[in-house]
């Protein structure tokens, strides 16, 4: 993510003798240029002065503190509480995008985000996605009559630096697998995404370096559910779906990648069995009749695969 660095927003290099009135004038000048709205950094102690300048321009001032958020779910819940989002807010990134687009739309707003460094230490992927959503909404509203300014508070506790020998997390390949796990009588296993509570899906995952799709299918089934595919019948459907990657997840892939190729598999088990979800990926699991499971899926390719089960397995 590229952050804007408009000078008045970062006062850390300015003299200690800088008066509140001088700061206020600098912020007033900045806020008079809605085209400069975006994500900027601000020493946390300067928030009262910025908020005063915002109110003088008729902008709503709001503050969010994510220092105690240990997960994406907790962060999204706190944002909704702090900004008094409507009851329909679903505490997922899509709903956040929609609600931010409407937040203080009649006047514009200045939002201070505290604790982003602590949240990033607890949930790096969630923090990165959050910043992408904030940047996208702020950019969309920049220059109009209701800009959305996002200021990241600095001067707060930073997470411990990672060892210099640690390798960066590799980018994903835009090739993945979908594995529909089901029983002989077409009870289908669904998993609830940790990053999007209420979003249900089958087992999915990207190919790692040197893997064949069938190898990825075996690995992902075990990692996400604890199920050994040797206990069932793994079928390669020889079918590939191509779909557009959600904008909020594209940072996981190489630059310029917008679409993913998904290889479809199914795993037939004799009966329903216990499931051990990976807590960093999923919140819960449930077995449902195939038609009901299809209706619960947020992904069209997942839904269509489940609807094809009777034909594919000869049930």
Residues 169-228: tens digit of each pLDDT: 688 899 999 999 999 999 999 999 877 778 899 999 999 989 999 999 999 999 999 999
CA gap 234, 243 in Å, rounded: 24
Q: Which pLDDT score, from 0 to 100, does residue 19 have?
A: 47
* Pairing assessment for the beta strands 200-201 and 60-65 based on DSSP bridges: unpaired
Q: Is the pTM of this model over 0.75?
A: no
Q: Which pLDDT score, from 0 to 100, does residue 167 have?
A: 54
CATH 3.40.50.1000 fits 175-313, yes or no: no
Task: Output 142 or 294, whichever has higher pLDDT.
Answer: 294
CA gap 134, 57 in Å, rounded: 22
Which residues belong to CATH 3.90.79.10 in the chain? 175-313
Q: Which pLDDT score, from 0 to 100, does residue 55 have?
A: 86
Residues 6+ apart with CB under 8 A from 286: 189, 190, 192, 200
Mean predicted confidence (pLDDT) in 113-121: 91
Query: Is the per-residue pLDDT at 9 higher than 60?
Result: no
Measured in whole angstroms, the distance separating CA 297 from the mean position of its chain's CA atoms is: 18
Mean predicted confidence (pLDDT) in 128-137: 91
Q: Which pLDDT score, from 0 to 100, does residue 49 have?
A: 86
Q: Is the Cα dihedral 287, 292, 298, 304 positive or negative?
A: positive
Q: What is the pLDDT of residues 227-268, one digit of tens each?
A: 999 999 999 999 999 988 877 678 888 999 999 999 999 999
Q: CA angle, 12 as apex, 48 and 71 as ends, to 5°? A: 70
Terminal-residue alpha carbon distance, the chain? 49
Q: Which pLDDT score, from 0 to 100, does residue 169 have?
A: 67
Task: Output 16 or 267, whichever has higher pLDDT.
Answer: 267
User: pLDDT over 70 for what percent of the chain?
Assistant: 87
CATH of 7-154 among 3.30.370.10, 3.40.50.300, 3.40.50.1000, 3.40.50.800:
3.30.370.10
Q: Reduced to 3 states, what is the DSSP secondary structure of residue 263?
A: strand
Query: Is the per-residue pLDDT at 17 higher than 50?
Result: no
CA gap 312, 315 in Å, rounded: 8
- CB hemisphere CA count around 7 (13 angstroms): 5
Which residues belong to CATH 3.30.370.10 in the chain? 7-154
Q: Reduced to 3 states, what is the DSSP secondary structure of residue 249?
A: helix
């Amino acid at each position: 993510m590229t952050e804007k660095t408009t000078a008045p927003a970062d006062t850390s290099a300015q003299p200690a003798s800088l008066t509140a009135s001088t700061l206020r004038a600098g912020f007033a000048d900045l806020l008079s240029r809605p085209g400069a709205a975006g994500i900027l950094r601000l020493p946390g102690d300067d928030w009262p002065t910025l908020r005063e300048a915002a109110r003088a321009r008729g902008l709503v001032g709001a503050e969010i503190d994510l220092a105690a958020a240990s997960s994406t779910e907790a962060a999204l819940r706190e944002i909704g509480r702090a900004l008094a989002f409507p009851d329909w807010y679903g505490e997922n990134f899509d709903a956040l995008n929609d609600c931010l687009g409407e937040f203080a739309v009649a006047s514009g707003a200045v939002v201070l985000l505290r604790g982003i460094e602590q949240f990033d230490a607890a949930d790096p992927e969630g923090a990165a996605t959050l910043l992408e959503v904030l940047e996208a909404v702020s950019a969309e509203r920049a220059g109009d009559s209701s800009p959305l300014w996002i200021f990241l508070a600095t001067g707060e506790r930073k997470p411990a630096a990672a060892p210099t020998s640690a390798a960066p997390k590799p980018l994903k390949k835009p090739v993945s697998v979908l594995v529909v796990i089901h029983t002989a009588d077409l009870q289908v296993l669904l998993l609830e995404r940790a990053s999007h509570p209420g979003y249900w899906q089958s087992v999915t995952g990207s190919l790692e370096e040197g893997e064949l799709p069938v190898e990825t299918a075996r690995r992902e089934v075990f990692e996400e559910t604890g199920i050994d595919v040797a206990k069932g019948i793994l079928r390669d459907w020889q079918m590939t779906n191509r779909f557009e990657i959600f904008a909020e997840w594209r940072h996981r892939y190489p630059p310029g990648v917008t679409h993913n190729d998904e290889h479809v598999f199914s795993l037939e088990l004799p009966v329903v069995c216990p499931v051990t979800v990976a807590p960093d990926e999923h919140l819960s699991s449930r077995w449902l009749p195939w038609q009901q499971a299809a209706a619960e899926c947020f992904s069209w390719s997942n839904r269509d695969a489940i609807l094809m089960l009777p034909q594919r397995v000869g049930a």
